[in-house]
């Protein structure tokens, strides 16, 4: 078995230590660690990269702290519309869903699109009909409701503003209720196959059926065994225009750059020029890992079979050796 690895994120934005309480920090660290452990166990047991990223995302979607699945933000109309995507770097198979409602784990639905339909990208009511056909778990509106998200939305719902989950908010208010963060995972398994997955509630007060970068293959999510698996988080519009995840793949393929060099080029140069705030996580087929962001912080964690283990929220990373 070759080296295997898993990297996850829980969103990027204006996340500052000065605004964080010890209890909230702990809750985030625990949430990240739990998802990392569940996904990593799949790899340790010889499972595939696709199954590892899916398992990690399900845990994050079920955690109210993060803006994905349960705990998703409110749209202009006061409902949750969720986006998710998954891609298999071994086959370039991919599945995405956008603007789905009441689906407990949108990543499970994206997986069904990838494996059980002849399509790549389903949206809205059609995607919900497919969820029913496939027996994907649905939940009532109340399941997704959180008072904090509601209050966050109430503050801007009468305006034309929409906001990235972690930015342009009263952070004191945010911290009180401890919830935000699009989620993503990338993995390299023991056979050298890689995969990527991303899931989000999108941006608070979004309207007109707005869809961000997360479910768009090549923008927020991409995987190809030849180069990298990438999951992005941040202000979706510039990430779409930069075709950010695929651009990392292209830089690696055409210039021979390493994973980290290519991610730095996209996040710290191309996206910065476009005011694209956020970051991304990546792996390559040798099991190398990277986490790069241009925002104040990014919830993130990684673990590799060579003993690497690190969790971070702000710029600095906590390195935790694994015995
Ligand atoms: N990229 C997501 C979007 O624009 C938001 C996020 O990453 O928090 O929908």
What would the pLDDT profile of 39-75 be if each residue is shown by its tens digit?
999 999 999 999 999 999 999 999 998 999 998 888 8
Print the domain residue range for 259.
5-319
Tell me what pLDDT residue 318 has.
Answer: 74
Residue 14: pLDDT band by 50, 70, 90 thresholds? Answer: confident
More confident residue, 151 or 320: 151
Place 162 in a pLDDT band, splitting at 50, 70 and 90: low
Assign 302 to helix, strand or coil.
strand
Q: Which protein residue's CA is at the shortest distance from atom 4 of ligand 1? A: 236
Q: Is 182 a catalytic residue?
A: yes
Catalytic residue among 14, 115, 167, 182: 182
Closest CA to 109 of 75, 61, 149, 142: 61
Distance of CA 67 to the CA centre of its chain: 9
pLDDT digits (tens, 9 = 90+) for 268-319: 999 999 999 999 999 999 999 999 999 989 999 999 999 999 999 998 877 6
Whichever domain contains 109, its CATH number is 3.60.20.30
**Which atom of ligand 1 has the smallest separation from the CA of 166?**
8
Under the banding of pLDDT at 50, 70 and 90, the label for residue 104 is: very high
- Ligand 1 binding pocket includes 84 (Cβ within 6 Å): no
| pLDDT for the residue 181 | 76
Residue 227: phi, psi to the nearest 5?
-130, -75
Cα 100 to averaged position of ligand 1 atoms, centre (Å): 15
Q: What is the pLDDT of residue 161?
A: 63
Ligand 1 atom 8: residue of nearest CA: 182
CB 323: neighbour CB atoms within 10 A?
Answer: 4
Task: Render 193-241 in DSSP notation, one character per residue.
Answer: -EEEEEEE--SBT--TT---STTSBTTTEEE-TTS-EEEEEE-HHHHHH
Average model confidence (pLDDT) across the chain: 90
Number of residues that this document lists for the chain: 323
Ligand 1 probe mutation, 15, 75, 202, most atoms within 8 A of CB: 202
Determine the distance separating the centroid of ligand 1 and the alpha carbon of 280, expressed in angstroms: 11
Q: Give how far the C-alpha of residue 197 lies from the chain's centroid of Cα atoms, to the nearest Å.
A: 7
Tokens (6 digits) for 257: 């750059």
pLDDT 10s digits, 163-204: 656 554 443 444 333 334 799 999 999 999 999 999 999 887
Gap from CA of 294 to ligand 1 centroid (Å): 14
Place of tokens 């789905």: 100
Instruction: Determine contact, residues 226/268, Cβ cutoff 8 Å.
Output: no
Q: What is the pTM of this model?
A: 0.92
What DSSP string runs through 33-82?
HHHHHHHHHHHHTT--HHHHHHHHHHHHHT-TTSSSSTTPPP-TTSS--E
The terminus-to-terminus CA distance of the chain in angstroms comes to 19
> Which of ligand 1's atoms lies nearest the C-alpha of 234?
7
Query: Which range (81-85, 115-119, 140-144, 314-318) has the least confidence?
Result: 314-318
Residue 51 has phi, psi (to 5 degrees) of: -70, -30
Give the Cα separation of 280 and 168 in Å (integer). Answer: 20
Number of compact structural domains in the chain? 1
Output DSSP code: residue 159: S
Torsion region of 11: left, alpha or beta (phi above 0 gives left; psi -120 to 50 gives alpha): left
Model confidence at 157, pLDDT cuts 50, 70, 90, reads confident
φ/ψ of residue 149, rounded to 5: -60, -40
In angstroms, what is the span from residue 112 Cα to ligand 1's centroid?
Answer: 22
The closest-lying atom of ligand 1 relative to the alpha carbon of residue 202 is 9
Nearest-angstrom CA–CA distance, 83 and 184: 12
Percent of the chain at pLDDT above 70? 92
Strands laid side by side in the 229-234 sheet: 221-223, 229-234, 278-283, 289-293
| pLDDT band, very low/low/confident/very high, at 230 (cuts 50, 70, 90) | very high
Say if strands 82-88 and 93-100 run parallel, antiparallel, or are unpaired: antiparallel
User: 112 CB under 6 A from ligand 1?
Assistant: no
Of the listed ranges 62-71, 143-152, 236-245, 286-295, the one predicted with least confidence: 143-152
Please say whether the beta carbons of 238 and 262 come within 8 A: no
Tokens in use for 26? 């702990």
DSSP string, 248-317: HHHHHHHH---HHHHHHIIIIIIHHHTT--EEEEEE-TT--EEEEESSSEEEEEEEETTS-EEEESSSSE
pLDDT of 5 above 90:
yes
Q: Is 277 in the pocket of ligand 1 (CB under 6 A)?
A: no
């Amino acid at each position: 078995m070759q080296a295997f690895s898993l990297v996850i994120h829980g969103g990027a934005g204006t996340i500052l230590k000065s605004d964080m309480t010890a209890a909230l920090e702990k809750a985030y660290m625990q949430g990240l660690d739990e998802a990392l452990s569940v996904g990593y166990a799949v790899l340790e047991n010889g499972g595939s990269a696709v199954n590892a990223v899916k398992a990690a995302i399900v845990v994050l979607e079920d955690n109210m702290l993060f803006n994905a699945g349960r705990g998703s933000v409110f749209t202009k109309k006061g409902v949750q519309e969720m986006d998710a995507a998954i891609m298999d770097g071994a086959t370039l198979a991919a599945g995405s869903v956008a603007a789905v409602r009441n689906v407990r784990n949108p990543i499970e639905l994206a997986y069904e699109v990838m494996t059980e339909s002849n399509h790549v990208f389903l949206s809205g009511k059609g995607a919900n009909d497919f969820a029913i056909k496939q027996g994907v778990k649905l939940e009532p509106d109340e399941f997704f409701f959180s008072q904090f998200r509601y209050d966050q939305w109430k503050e801007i719902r009468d305006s034309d503003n929409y906001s990235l989950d972690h930015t342009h908010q009263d952070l004191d208010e945010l911290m009180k209720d401890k919830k935000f963060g699009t989620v993503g995972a990338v993995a390299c398994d023991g056979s050298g196959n890689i995969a990527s997955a991303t899931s989000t509630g999108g941006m608070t007060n979004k309207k007109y059926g707005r869809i961000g970068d997360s479910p768009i293959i090549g923008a927020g999510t991409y995987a190809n065994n030849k180069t990298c698996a990438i999951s992005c988080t941040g202000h979706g519009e510039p990430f779409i225009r930069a075709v950010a995840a695929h651009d990392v793949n292209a830089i690696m393929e055409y210039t021979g750059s390493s994973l980290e060099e290519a991610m730095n080029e996209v996040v710290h140069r191309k996206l910065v020029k476009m005011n694209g705030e956020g970051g991304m996580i990546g792996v390559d087929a040798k099991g190398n890992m990277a986490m790069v962001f241009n925002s104040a912080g990014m919830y993130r964690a990684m673990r590799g079979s060579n003993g690497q283990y690190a969790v971070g929220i702000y710029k600095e990373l906590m390195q935790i050796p694994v015995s």
